[in-house]
């Protein structure tokens, strides 16, 4: 997958990249202005069904970007895991959308278009920007009053294919067809309420529509890369890390980072539920290999200083899970060397209620427990200062490659 931001920085340098981003922002503002989005009357006309330019321009931008993004992903040029997609907070999002829509109708601008209007010295744009700034300040001062609601109905990084349970290509084609139908409907509304003569509309829009449909069909036919596809692409490089045991951290290092407050440790226990219920590490979360794909978007939202440690009874299942997360571009993923069995070999020698089990096969727990106490055993979180274990440090914090935030003008 092409790391475009890194390539741009390497080729142009830091300040050259800043200049490029500035030019992109200027071009975006220019497009909004020439589309008439700096004119509040033109923007407000859509609510009177007489001028649907806003709907057509914005939906064109959305569907073109969607087709290009998923086409690049299908061709292996873009890792969609590294794109910032706003997490879904359903009811706060609905209420926020209604408030913004109401403000749009009253003021004639959205935040981005108000900046365009202000940049072209329009007084109403300036007052809208000042009002938006005051609203941001007011929200920041009062958000604690409704903090619980503001963070309610959280669905994470949810996209339409996941929500609908459909193939990505099917959704892309469906959204394109829906947008084209809305364009047609918008033109009919302009003809009825705006008295627009559609015979004078540019004929090139039909070619653009055909090109969009063709792109969506191509996305459908090519398909999106699976986790296995991604792994096979990087396997020659990543298998070396497993062979060299560069990602298998010793129990002593895990104990050390469990008490390192500068790191955010996420432990994922890949074992079956019965073994997990018998014993698991303090704060470890159970997740099977099959469930990891559902967790990927959530793991990408963890802070940059996060270290992920996978563990199974030995290393077999944890290694398979490591391949899944690495293929899905989750950074800083490690495996507990020797697994839970290796951990117990070191720390459970005097633990009451735990004793070695003879004849355990590969992949099975080599200890038996008097009771299924989970993390209630002392060995689940040993006292750091009671053990002086030497280990070779292997954790090297990788710069987080996926963006940790985003926004919309």
Please identify which residue in the block is written with the tokens 């529509």: 209
In a domain, residue 267? The reply is: yes
Structure tokens at 302: 């963890």
The set of residues, in sequence order, having a beta carbon less than 8 Å from that of 241 and lying 6+ positions away, is 247
Are residue 46 and residue 186 in the same domain, yes or no? Answer: yes
| pLDDT score of 402 | 54
Are residue 137 and residue 241 in the same domain, yes or no? Answer: no
In a domain, residue 160? The reply is: yes
Q: Indicate the DSSP class of residue 338.
A: T
- pLDDT bucket at 208, cuts 50 / 70 / 90: very high
- Tell me the C-alpha distance between 89 and 137, whole Å: 21
Give the range of the structural domain holding residue 359, as residue numbers without chain letter: 228-386
- Tell me the C-alpha distance between 396 and 11, whole Å: 26
User: What count of other Cβ atoms lies within 10 Å of the Cβ of residue 349?
Assistant: 10
| pLDDT score of 403 | 54
In a domain, residue 406? The reply is: no
Last residue of one domain, picked from the residues 226, 260, 280: 226
- pLDDT bucket at 86, cuts 50 / 70 / 90: confident
End-to-end CA distance of the chain: 28
- Nearest Cα to Cα of residue 343 among 249, 268, 246: 249
Are residue 207 and residue 313 in the same domain, yes or no? Answer: no
Structure tokens at 350: 């005097």
- Tell me the C-alpha distance between 76 and 293, whole Å: 18
Structural domains in the chain (count): 2
Beta-strand relationship, 154-156 and 333-336: unpaired
In a domain, residue 403? The reply is: no
Last residue of one domain, picked from the residues 172, 205, 226: 226
Are residue 304 and residue 234 in the same domain, yes or no? Answer: yes
- 385 has pLDDT over 50: yes
Q: What is the CATH number of the domain that holds 247?
A: 3.40.250.10
pLDDT, the chain, mean? 89
Taken as a whole, the chain contains a residue count of 409
| pLDDT score of 406 | 55
Are residue 195 and residue 276 in the same domain, yes or no? Answer: no
Are residue 264 and residue 206 in the same domain, yes or no? Answer: no
The mean per-residue pLDDT over the stretch 219-243 comes to 94
Are residue 203 and residue 241 in the same domain, yes or no? Answer: no
Top pLDDT among 85 and 404 is at 85
Are residue 185 and residue 232 in the same domain, yes or no? Answer: no
Are residue 217 and residue 334 in the same domain, yes or no? Answer: no
| pLDDT score of 383 | 83
The set of residues, in sequence order, having a beta carbon less than 8 Å from that of 403 and lying 6+ positions away, is 82, 83, 84
The two counts, helices (H) then strands (E), for the chain are 16, 9
| pLDDT score of 409 | 47
The set of residues, in sequence order, having a beta carbon less than 8 Å from that of 340 and lying 6+ positions away, is 269, 271, 275, 279, 280, 281, 311, 312, 313, 365
Are residue 95 and residue 213 in the same domain, yes or no? Answer: yes
- pTM of the entire structure? 0.81
- Give me the residues paired with residue 308 across strands: 266, 333
The mean per-residue pLDDT over the stretch 16-41 comes to 87
- Tell me the C-alpha distance between 87 and 159, whole Å: 9
Top pLDDT among 46 and 323 is at 323
In a domain, residue 250? The reply is: yes
- 120-177 pLDDT tens trace: 899 999 999 999 999 999 999 999 999 999 999 998 888 999 899 999 999 999 999 9
- 314-333 pLDDT tens trace: 999 999 999 999 999 999 99
Q: Indicate the DSSP class of residue 400.
A: P
- Three-state DSSP at 333 gives strand
DSSP letters for 278-304: HB--TT-EE--GGGHHHHHHHHHTS-T
The mean per-residue pLDDT over the stretch 371-382 comes to 92
CB crowding 68-84: b at 16 or more within 10 Å, else e = eebbbbbeeebbbbbee
């Amino acid at each position: 997958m092409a790391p475009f931001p890194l390539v741009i920085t390497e080729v142009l340098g830091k300040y050259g990249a800043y200049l490029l981003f500035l030019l992109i922002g200027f071009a975006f503002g220019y497009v909004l202005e020439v589309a008439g989005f700096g004119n509040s009357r033109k923007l407000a006309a859509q609510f009177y069904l007489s001028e649907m330019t806003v709907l057509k321009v914005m939906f064109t931008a959305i569907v073109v970007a969607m087709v290009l993004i998923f086409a690049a992903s299908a061709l292996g040029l873009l890792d969609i895991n590294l794109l910032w997609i706003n997490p879904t907070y359903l009811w706060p999002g609905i209420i926020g959308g209604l408030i913004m829509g109401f403000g749009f109708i009253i003021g004639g601008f959205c935040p981005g278009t108000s900046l365009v209007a202000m940049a072209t010295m329009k007084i109403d744009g300036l007052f809208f920007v000042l009002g938006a700034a005051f609203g941001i300040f007011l929200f920041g001062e009062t958000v604690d009053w409704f903090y619980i609601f503001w963070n309610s109905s959280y669905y994470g990084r949810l996209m339409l294919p996941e929500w609908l349970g459909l193939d990505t290509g099917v959704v892309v084609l469906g959204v394109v067809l829906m947008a084209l139908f809305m364009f047609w409907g918008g033109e009919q509304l302009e003809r009825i309420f705006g008295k627009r003569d559609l015979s004078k509309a540019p004929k090139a829009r039909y070619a653009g529509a055909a090109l969009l449909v063709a792109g969506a069909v191509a996305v459908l036919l090519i398909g999106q890369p699976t986790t296995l596809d991604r792994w096979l692409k990087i396997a020659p490089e990543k298998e070396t890390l497993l062979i060299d045991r560069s990602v298998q951290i010793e129990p002593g290092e895990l104990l050390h980072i469990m008490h390192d407050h500068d790191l955010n440790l996420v432990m994922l226990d890949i074992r079956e539920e019965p073994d997990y219920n018998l014993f698991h590490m303090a704060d470890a979360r159970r997740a099977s290999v099959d469930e990891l794909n559902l967790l990927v978007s959530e793991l990408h939202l963890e802070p940059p200083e996060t270290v992920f440690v996978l563990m199974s009874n030995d290393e077999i299942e944890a290694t398979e899970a490591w391949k899944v997360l690495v293929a899905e571009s989750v950074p800083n993923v490690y495996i507990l060397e020797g697994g839970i069995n290796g951990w117990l070999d070191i720390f459970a020698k005097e633990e009451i209620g735990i004793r070695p089990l003879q004849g355990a096969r590969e992949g099975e727990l080599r200890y038996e427990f008097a009771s299924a106490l989970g993390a209630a055993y002392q060995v689940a979180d040993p006292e750091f200062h009671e053990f002086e274990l030497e280990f070779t440090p292997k954790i090297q914090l990788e710069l987080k490659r996926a963006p940790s935030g985003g926004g919309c003008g």
